[in-house]
Amino acid sequence: MVSTCLRALYLSFLMTLGSIGHLYSQDDQDALFIKSIHNQILTEGSCYAWLDHLSEEIGGRLAGSEESEIAVRYTRDVLSEYADTAYLQPCQVPYWTRGDEEVVKILNTEGNLTIDIGGLALGNSVGTGAKGIQAEVVEVKTLDEVRALGIDGINGKIVFYNRPMDPTQIRTFYAYGGAVDQRVNGPAVAAEYGAIGTIVRSMTTASDDNPHTGVTRYKEGGPQIPAIAISTNDADLLHEMLQKEPVDIYMYTNCRMVTESKLSYNVIAEIKGSTYPDEIILVGGHMDSWDVGGGAHDDGAGCVHSMQVFETLKELNYQPKRTLRCVLFMNEENGLGGGRAYAEESAANGEWHMAAIESDAGGFTPRGFSCDANDDIFPGFYRQLLKWTDLLDPYYLGLTKGGSGADISPLKSQGGLLMGFRPDSQRYFDFHHTAVDRITAVNERELKLGAAAMTSMVYLLDNYGISKGDE
Amino acid sequence: MVSTCLRALYLSFLMTLGSIGHLYSQDDQDALFIKSIHNQILTEGSCYAWLDHLSEEIGGRLAGSEESEIAVRYTRDVLSEYADTAYLQPCQVPYWTRGDEEVVKILNTEGNLTIDIGGLALGNSVGTGAKGIQAEVVEVKTLDEVRALGIDGINGKIVFYNRPMDPTQIRTFYAYGGAVDQRVNGPAVAAEYGAIGTIVRSMTTASDDNPHTGVTRYKEGGPQIPAIAISTNDADLLHEMLQKEPVDIYMYTNCRMVTESKLSYNVIAEIKGSTYPDEIILVGGHMDSWDVGGGAHDDGAGCVHSMQVFETLKELNYQPKRTLRCVLFMNEENGLGGGRAYAEESAANGEWHMAAIESDAGGFTPRGFSCDANDDIFPGFYRQLLKWTDLLDPYYLGLTKGGSGADISPLKSQGGLLMGFRPDSQRYFDFHHTAVDRITAVNERELKLGAAAMTSMVYLLDNYGISKGDE
């Protein structure tokens, strides 16, 4: 691009002015206020500075950890500047620790070749014992393959799950959804057939050296075996070696579940609505992250997006008609203790969340919102939202049907609208659950535009409300 | 995000299947072929490897440089694998060189403080002479401010243009268009009033230490003074110091225009159309870049996007009905010699470019295409394009009115459709014309999705054509 494009840019600019003019004539107030939201955040918004603090000063914030408690106090203190009240809501969370650095080695069976590859224990995994474990590797692509191999094929072995995420999915979350059963349930299934350990290919379409952790789940009362994620490059290497000869894996981790239940907190900030105080609009993300990296995209971004809503509405002197709540949930990653505690207390208090918006897909450039509700009332909600299309188009914000967010999903029984903020997903799994999910992976403008998208949607929901009956 | 989202993901997946099913019933062939284009590129496309070679092995490719000639031969050789013919088209370009590393110092007038800030000479700038130049700084925001200060205020001084790009513009190219007159015309205007040098704030909304070069233009026969860009952080520092006391700038560069006219080349590859060989569809980007960095986003990305169209159609055994041309233009950055030569030869041969698509906005995640044509035939074109909306939506590809690209703009007189590939623009000016425009700034999936978008549009244009008369 160079100055020869200036004429074209100028023409485009004139067209934009034309289209803004068109909006003004429809609904001056809304278009102007949404523009002022964007201007405030792009010039003065604090979300990037907050995220820098969460990711780089505090660091990874696994539920139950000291870092998570520091982050709870920090965000409560920040939010207290912009809300009527900011307080902590108790919840019970597990506390799992990684312990020492993991050791993973590939050894050929003659013992004359050893390759250190390293890895990250999966969250909730048990340890290997002090000496580690070593056994022949069985590579599989699916859980069904393990079942088909049965005890004869699996007993005493280390199972290596190596089905890649599908790179042809345009929405990378679908690719994740199509592969993550290996990580979540793979170790439990392998254990049923007598495996002594599990190695899992990392959940990313990128070819790199970063192992991706994430939760695994044992069956209640079932056998528990250690599980470690290895990078996609190392998974490809191991696969190549297995084409030639049998190989062993040695693995060591002293990770452990310290306790299944420990007191922790959601952070809640609230501004009471002036006209409809019983209609709640929630914005939120999750405070906890994995212990490696800084939890910048997952989900520091969602937290600071939500906090930015409150700062901006205060800076713009906006008095909401409905009650606004910012909720930073604890323990999304390995239990959902915070999300459940919030929904239970809300139900006990007879609350109605007219709408809840979760941001838990990273701090990337905005694409829009996914919308979810009970099937019988969804169409009416969706038609009401679509009336705002012209107001959202200038900011590239589309509305699609789809899931909202794990933390707010227990609110579905209240019959309100659940929304998920949807940024572009192409880079998300380059960083997800890794040591490189740091502030350096977050672009300041992209983060701020996400916060502006959330604030704009809150403004529209607050100003117009939505009704269960179709208008 | 964690496995508790899986149910939501699965539901979204079912909805997607539903929507694909819907497309199939409308037009199976098109939806399937566009999907196969995406699959081929996401799994086997070579564009990222080519860009790595252009950016990291060859490096910055300023018109007239040895690197630009190496890149010409490399891309011709690659394209010859996928086209009926691949050849070089002569064009005349200027050859400007940066010379030694620039020196820029801020000095307070008492001479007891000197701060080295460094900078990048603007393309086409003259040098300072071996001793450099030093003078008091006059900070301005606009060219009109220089005119208002007049000879009395400017003569013998160094003019510092310091109007930031507007961060509140959602489309960053508009912000660029609103500020870049300082760089392109600022030095010439300052020179008219007797300034001896110019310092220009870099064209980016980011606050960082990277100076951004780019073209400047002197008036024909007018005075020529040296011009250097400094980083936004350094511009802010200089501004702060000027609030307190007068300061001098010392600047040194031995950059120079080696020759105003040198032989160079566009790279052209062609596949002859089977049915309508006289209807040309062009895809292209520009081969030249600035000398610093690797020209990865600007515009190596556009080159490999265009080359990928040819690789993919060959891999899919697609025989075009119309004539497809891939053109890698030389000298977009500081002269447009390639674009003009191409249009002149095309006019002399009586060709008609039914459509031309330029990619020159980086290798970021796709947003769609901007469309341009002569006003009297544009509405008919645009209506025809909008029929493809359902086919493009699954890939987030929208169609907007707007400029296409500098290199193809001289083709407008042929009355065909001009399009610009439009990726997301938020990160573009973090890298534009800097030493950090390298392969590390490009995400492989985002780049590949851009190439798939270009290929899909070429397929639709080739398969259906567009007619000047409204259907």
**What are A178-195's pLDDT values in tens digits?**
999 999 999 999 999 999
What pLDDT score does A27 carry? 72
- Contact call for B12 and A445, based on CB within 8 A: no
Type and span of the H or E element at A304: helix A301-315
Predicted confidence (pLDDT) at residue B5 exceeds the cutoff of 70 = no
Calculate mean pLDDT across residues A450-466.
97
- Band (pLDDT 50/70/90 cuts) for residue A110 is confident
Predicted confidence (pLDDT) at residue A260 exceeds the cutoff of 70 = yes
Which residue of chain B is at minimal alpha-carbon distance from A404?
B8
From the centroid of its chain, how far is CA A37? 24
Predicted confidence (pLDDT) at residue B272 exceeds the cutoff of 60 = yes
What tens digit of pLDDT does each residue of B18-51 get? 444 444 444 789 999 999 999 999 999 999 999 9
A361 contacts on B by Cβ (under 8 Å): 1
Using CA atoms, how far apart are residues A386 and B213, in angstroms rounded to an integer? 44
What pLDDT score does B27 carry? 72
Calculate mean pLDDT across residues A300-317.
98
CA dist A19 → A15, A23, A27, B393, B433 (Å): 6, 6, 13, 22, 31
What pLDDT score does A278 carry? 97
Taking the CA atoms of B144, B149, B150 and B154 in sequence, report the sign of the dihedral they define: negative
Six-digit token string for B184: 């392109």
CA distance A325 to chain B (A): 21
Using CA atoms, how far apart are residues A47 and A445, in angstroms rounded to an integer? 10
Q: Is B5 on the interface with A (CB under 8 A)?
A: yes
Which member of A7, A38, A180 has the closest CB to residue B170?
Answer: A38
SS3 of B40-70: the string is: HHHHHCCHHHHHHHHHHHHCCCCCCCHHHHH
Which residue of chain B is at minimal alpha-carbon distance from A401?
B12
User: Which range is least confidently modeled, A221-225, B9-13, B379-383?
Assistant: B9-13
Calculate mean pLDDT across residues A289-314.
98
Q: What percent of chain B has pLDDT over 70?
A: 94
Calculate mean pLDDT across residues A148-168.
98
CA distance B103 to chain A (A): 25
What pLDDT score does B18 carry? 43
Q: What is the mean pLDDT of chain B?
A: 94
Q: Is A363 on the interface with B (CB under 8 A)?
A: no
What tens digit of pLDDT does each residue of A385-429 get? 999 999 999 999 999 999 999 999 999 999 999 999 999 999 999
Calculate mean pLDDT across residues B12-19.
43
Q: Is A20 on the interface with B (CB under 8 A)?
A: no
Predicted confidence (pLDDT) at residue A9 exceeds the cutoff of 50 = no
- Contact call for B334 and A2, based on CB within 8 A: yes
What pLDDT score does A16 carry? 45
Q: What percent of chain A has pLDDT over 70?
A: 94
Using CA atoms, how far apart are residues B195 and B115, in angstroms rounded to an integer? 22
Give me the residues paired with residue B105 across strands: B116, B250
Calculate mean pLDDT across residues A453-469.
93
Q: Is A173 on the interface with B (CB under 8 A)?
A: yes
Q: Give Cβ neighbours of residue A347 (< 8 Å, ≥ 6 apart).
A: A413, A414
Using CA atoms, how far apart are residues A268 and A86, in angstroms rounded to an integer? 6
Calculate mean pLDDT across residues A264-292.
98
Predicted confidence (pLDDT) at residue B11 exceeds the cutoff of 50 = no
- Band (pLDDT 50/70/90 cuts) for residue B379 is confident
Q: Which position has the token pair 């425009």?
A: B437
Calculate mean pLDDT across residues B186-213.
98
- Contact call for A9 and B430, based on CB within 8 A: no
Query: Which of B304, B382, B296 lies closest to B79, judged by CA?
Result: B304
Q: Is A176 on the interface with B (CB under 8 A)?
A: yes
Using CA atoms, how far apart are residues B287 and B304, in angstroms rounded to an integer? 10
- Scanning B441-470 for CB atoms below 8 A from A yields 443-446, 449
- Contact call for B424 and A365, based on CB within 8 A: yes
What tens digit of pLDDT does each residue of A37-91 get? 999 999 999 999 999 999 999 999 999 999 999 999 999 999 999 999 999 999 9
Among left, alpha and beta (phi > 0; psi -120 to 50; other), residue A221 is: left
Which residue of chain A is at minimal alpha-carbon distance from B441?
A441
What pLDDT score does A24 carry? 46
| Residue A209 near residue A236, CB atoms below 8 Å | no
Which residue of chain A is at minimal alpha-carbon distance from B302?
A1
Type and span of the H or E element at A303: helix A301-315
- Band (pLDDT 50/70/90 cuts) for residue B458 is very high
Predicted confidence (pLDDT) at residue A10 exceeds the cutoff of 60 = no
| Residue B355 near residue B340, CB atoms below 8 Å | no
What tens digit of pLDDT does each residue of B82-98 get? 999 999 999 999 999 99
Q: Is A415 exposed, middle or buried (0-12, 13-18, 19+ CB in 10 A)?
A: middle
Predicted confidence (pLDDT) at residue B10 exceeds the cutoff of 80 = no
Q: Is A358 on the interface with B (CB under 8 A)?
A: no
Give this complex's ipTM. Answer: 0.93
What pLDDT score does B469 carry? 60
Among left, alpha and beta (phi > 0; psi -120 to 50; other), residue A145 is: alpha
pTM over 0.90: yes
Using CA atoms, how far apart are residues B195 and B155, in angstroms rounded to an integer? 5
| Residue B447 near residue B304, CB atoms below 8 Å | yes
What pLDDT score does A469 carry? 60
Using CA atoms, how far apart are residues B88 and B73, in angstroms rounded to an integer? 9
For chain A, domains (ranges, CATH) are 28-96+260-464 (3.40.630.10), 101-254 (3.50.30.30)
- Band (pLDDT 50/70/90 cuts) for residue A96 is very high
Q: Is B170 on the interface with A (CB under 8 A)?
A: yes
What tens digit of pLDDT does each residue of A320-376 get? 999 999 999 999 999 999 999 999 999 999 999 999 999 999 999 999 999 999 888
Six-digit token string for A279: 């209609």
Which residue of chain A is at minimal alpha-carbon distance from B287?
A1
Predicted confidence (pLDDT) at residue B114 exceeds the cutoff of 60 = yes
Q: How many other CB atoms are found less than 10 A from the CB of residue B398? A: 16
Give me the residues paired with residue B282 across strands: B325, B356
